[in-house]
Amino acid sequence: MRKIFTARATAKRVIKVLFIVWLISVFVIEGFILSEVGSAEKADVDYVIVLGAGLKEGELSLELQRRLDKGLEYLHANPTSQVIVSGGQGANEKISEAYAMKRYLLAQGMGEERIITEDKSTSTYENFVYTKEVLKEFEDKNEIKILIITSEFHMFRAKFLARRVGFIPYGISSDSVFYLKPYFYSREYLAVIKSLLLDR
């Protein structure tokens, strides 16, 4: 009987410790996520990159349109900048995110010569891996400065992965839909852990 009580007490202590570790990880990772919410409009960069965020029946999701609109603000203010639209075709999508993004930018008056497409990626890590491959056609230097346009909850992970691939990243955040913020931030916590461990 004493062994049973000892085992139960040990299990409770282990559960308590695991809960404390989990709680600390939530505060630390969410703190990192929040630390990158902001803008760097005056950064001197080589390229602007807008990261994909899903389509709905071939049309931009609201989150993706917000990213593109934020990108357009910068691109209109910096008419010599080139933009990379990055996003592949999902299993249930008829076209790639990059194609839909390019189509939207063209409809807003952006010159086609300013748009570079990367349409193979299916994750944030691949956004940067495949973008680097595409840019080999245009650049012969290893360290390329990029201005990342993505949602505010996504910026920390995007910059972290861009550095891992070899870019020098800056960022401008678009604001995510307010009623979806709890979902986005909780999902991003898990995505950061996954990227730290697996995306390399």
- The strand order across the sheet containing 83-86 reads 115-118, 83-86, 47-51, 145-151, 168-174
CATH code of residue 87: 3.40.50.620
Cα–chain center distance at 152: 9
Give the mean pLDDT per block of 10 residues along the chain (200 residues): 68 89 93 86 88 90 96 94 95 90 97 96 97 90 92 96 96 92 95 92
Query: 53 near 177, Cβ under 8 Å?
Result: no
- Which range marks the domain in which residue 154 is found? 36-198
Contact 88, 98 (CB under 8 A): yes
Structure confidence at residue 42 (pLDDT) = 72
Rounded to whole angstroms, how far apart are CA atoms 176 and 178? 6
**Would residue 171 count as lying in a domain?**
yes
The amino acid present at 49, given as its one-letter code, is I
CB 147 within 8 A of CB 71: no
Residue 178 within any structural domain of the chain: yes
Distance CA 93, CA 96 (A): 7
User: Which pLDDT does position 58 carry in this prediction?
Assistant: 84
Amino acid at 118: E
> What pLDDT score was predicted for residue 3?
60
Domain count of the chain? 1
pLDDT at 54: 85
Q: Does 17 map to a domain?
A: no
Q: What is the pTM of this model?
A: 0.90
Instruction: Look at residue 66 and tell me if it is in a domain.
Output: yes
Q: How far apart are CA 130 and CA 121, in angstroms?
A: 7
pLDDT computed for residue 39 by the predictor: 74
Separation of alpha carbons 168 and 54, rounded Å: 25
Structural domain includes residue 23: no
Residue 170 lies inside a defined structural domain of this protein: yes
21 in any annotated domain = no
Contact 173, 39 (CB under 8 A): yes
Question: For residue 77, is it within any domain?
Answer: yes
The closest of 39, 48, 58, 55 to 83, measured between CA atoms, is 48
